Amino acid sequence: MSNSEYASRADGCCRLWPDVNTHFLSLKGLPPDAVPRTAAQQVLHPLLVGFDAIAGCELKEFYRFKMHLQRLPEAPVACPELVQVVAAFRCWVDFDYSGARALFIAHLHEYPGDVLTVFFVHMLDFCTGKTCDLVDVFDICDPCVDATHPLSSFYLGIKSFVLCERSEFEQARVLGLQAVAQRPDNIYAIHGVVHALHEQQQWAALCEFLEGCKDNWAFNPGMRMHIYWHLAIAYLMSSQYERSTATFREFYALKDFRYAKQDLDAVGFLWRLKLQNLEDRQFDELWQDLSILWSGSIGTSTSHFHNMHAAFAFAAADRPLLIDKLIAESDGFGIEPATQQVGVDVLNAIAFFARGAYAECYQILAASQSVWLRLGGSRAQRELLMKTMNMAQKMMPSHQPRARLVNAL
């Protein structure tokens, strides 16, 4: 893609390295042959790599990116498009999330066609439990990102997902389909459509949609496991148990290395399955593996959304002591205070569930339900908490013995 396609100054960072925009916004990282040739590209390159890393909410990635940012001059090259973006990332790695967001927004007021920066803000919001707030960005950017913009499809894909999180499901579905029509391999737009269909409980339509466009998402390393997760759940909710578990096994085989964050979708599917099929033991060995993999994340994450998945893995493997350790080491470092409170509450609830203390689990989850969104992630992913709360309530009657999770489930 040439610079001429980004003729407007309003496109900001998108003008600096046009050849990488599509690849990066397709969640494929940087193209393997991408070599920075200008001074601006030499700054933008590590910003894109660092952003990809800190979106995983791992402390070591924050520190690694911070060390790089410290080596940059205060005003990076003679490129005004980068000044506030670099400043925003400096705030982000210092855990000043509101400061980072304010700087990104200030940048977008000056460069409202900068879809790359829209994506930066979106992922910051997603990680900090503020996904729905991105509507203020759309108010700024909509006039500049119309159907003629070279990154219009990616912008609509982001908008689709955000509207879905705001419970505007039909509008989210329509925008997502528009984005897919513009660019069939836009996996984030596919993702937006799928989330809308999930929220509308249109399981058959979801399966048909994903099976029909599988060639456009099944080979994308950045999000294919998550899209498979949606498909496996849709089959599960359609009472197609065998097809659901087969789909899970298909996506879990795609793991390219033994790293816990790649197991987030595995936990998200298997915990649903465990609650829905209480006598099913076929994944017990995998639960043991998952608990080992997630144990390495204790004390290393800035996300209670991730910690929640670790706790579910520990519970399913009958290792409540690991949940206790997770809680003890969740001191709030790098996490906003309001998020820290609900995060620890949720972890305590899962610990109670793992020990068969269902009334205590239910009480905590019921009291915190209105603020679960602070954990980050999506509505669909946070459904695990609602399903856990419902199961805890079901297990509460006084005649029900307090069995440990391994016996109860």
In a domain, 58, yes or no: yes
Question: What is residue 7's three-state secondary structure?
Answer: coil
125-163 confidence digits (pLDDT tens): 999 999 999 999 999 999 999 999 999 999 999 999 999
In a domain, 274, yes or no: no
In a domain, 20, yes or no: yes
Report which of 82, 7, 6, 99 is spatially closest to residue 46, judged by C-alpha positions: 82
Q: At what angle do helices 115-127 and 152-165 cross, to 10 degrees?
A: 20
In a domain, 302, yes or no: yes
The 8-class DSSP code of residue 183 comes to -
Model confidence band, residue 402 (pLDDT cutoffs 50, 70, 90): very low
In a domain, 233, yes or no: no
What span, in angstroms and rounded, lies between the C-alpha atoms of 334 and 325? 18
Give the total number of structural domains in the chain.
2
- Please give the residue range of the domain that contains residue 345: 283-409
User: Which residue among 122, 152, 185 closes a domain?
Assistant: 122
Query: Which amino acid type is present at position 30?
Result: L
What span, in angstroms and rounded, lies between the C-alpha atoms of 21 and 186? 12
What span, in angstroms and rounded, lies between the C-alpha atoms of 383 and 272? 9
In a domain, 253, yes or no: no
In a domain, 139, yes or no: no
Query: Which amino acid type is present at position 407?
Result: N
What span, in angstroms and rounded, lies between the C-alpha atoms of 105 and 102? 5
The 8-class DSSP code of residue 201 comes to T
227-258 confidence digits (pLDDT tens): 999 999 999 999 999 999 999 999 999 887 76
User: Which residue among 87, 122, 157 closes a domain?
Assistant: 122
What span, in angstroms and rounded, lies between the C-alpha atoms of 104 and 88? 6
What span, in angstroms and rounded, lies between the C-alpha atoms of 360 and 142? 47
What span, in angstroms and rounded, lies between the C-alpha atoms of 266 and 261? 10
The pLDDT score that the predictor gives to residue 403 is: 43
Widest distance between CA atoms in the chain:
73
**Environment class of residue 242 by beta-carbon count within 10 Å: exposed (0-12), middle (13-18) or buried (19+)?**
exposed
**Number of Cα atoms under 13 Å in the Cβ half of residue 109:** 8
The pLDDT score that the predictor gives to residue 279 is: 73
Tokens for 249? 């096994």
Model confidence band, residue 399 (pLDDT cutoffs 50, 70, 90): very low
The 8-class DSSP code of residue 23 comes to H
The stretch 88-115 carries a mean pLDDT of 97
User: Which residue among 89, 122, 155 closes a domain?
Assistant: 122
Tokens for 251? 């996506």
Query: Which amino acid type is present at position 249?
Result: R
Tokens 């459509």 identify what position? 193
pTM: predicted TM-score of the whole model, two decimal places: 0.93
In a domain, 227, yes or no: no
Model confidence band, residue 401 (pLDDT cutoffs 50, 70, 90): very low
DSSP bridge partners of 58: 301
